[in-house]
Amino acid sequence: MAGSTLPTPSQTVGPFFNIGLPGVDSKLVPEGADGAIRLTGVVYDGEGEVAPDALLEIWQANRSGRYDHPDDRRDDLPLEEGFRGYGRAETGEDGSFEFVTVKPGPVPAPDGAQQAPHIMMSVLARGLLARLATRVYFGDEAQANEADPVLSSVEPDRRETLVATVDGEGAYRFDIRLQGTGETVFFEV
């Protein structure tokens, strides 16, 4: 209607995630590879409902704590054949996701302190106009987690939202809550 003063209806972004994002999957190492772990979980929206159309991207160091990136010039640490250090997974109808990767080693913080083993994760979902950034720490790394400068900067009662729990041999569970009670801690980057 020409000349209308009615506002344009609001729109959400997506779910169009797989357009233009080919070639990256959720297996950072082959299944059954030496040291392979499974990281699984479910993404929940602000109402506590599963998010069946979220996209997760992870980036991490290898088992020795070295990134497969030109800026990581710590040549005394080995790169791992077949490990690319990043992956992408979409959630299923039940909101679930799975990555097959390795548990990363500790990495240096900018101030030279040691960071606990962790995986950096980005979350994209309908209704989000920008990615959410979080970290995944490991529940069986209590001593390293306690000393981690980033995890220590989070309010103590919220730290557990960043820690994956052991879910069997070589398996970890990390659920993500986008809002509401138990909301996962997200970082400004």
Question: Is residue 25 assigned to a domain?
Answer: no
**Domain extent for 94:** 36-177
- Across the chain, how many H-helices and E-strands are there? 2, 11
Question: Is residue 182 assigned to a domain?
Answer: no
* β-strands 36-44, 171-173 pairing: parallel
Question: Is residue 167 assigned to a domain?
Answer: yes
CA-nearest of 98, 67, 97 to 80 is 67
Identity of the amino acid at 103: K
Identity of the amino acid at 19: I
Question: Is residue 8 assigned to a domain?
Answer: no
The tally of domains found in the chain comes to 1
Question: Is residue 14 assigned to a domain?
Answer: no
What's the mean pLDDT in 135-162? 97
Q: Name the one residue in this structure whose structure tokens are 């991207």.
A: 57
C-beta atoms surrounding 31 within 10 Å: 8
- Amino acid 4: pLDDT: 58
CA-nearest of 118, 131, 128 to 159 is 118
* 7-21, 28-42, 43-57: least confident range: 7-21
Confidence of residue 5 (pLDDT cuts 50, 70, 90): low
Question: Is residue 2 assigned to a domain?
Answer: no
- Amino acid 68: pLDDT: 85
- Amino acid 76: pLDDT: 86
DSSP classification of residue 92: -
User: CA 20 to CA 45: how far, in whole Å?
Assistant: 25
CATH number of the domain residue 51 falls in: 2.60.130.10
Whether the pTM exceeds 0.85: the reply is yes
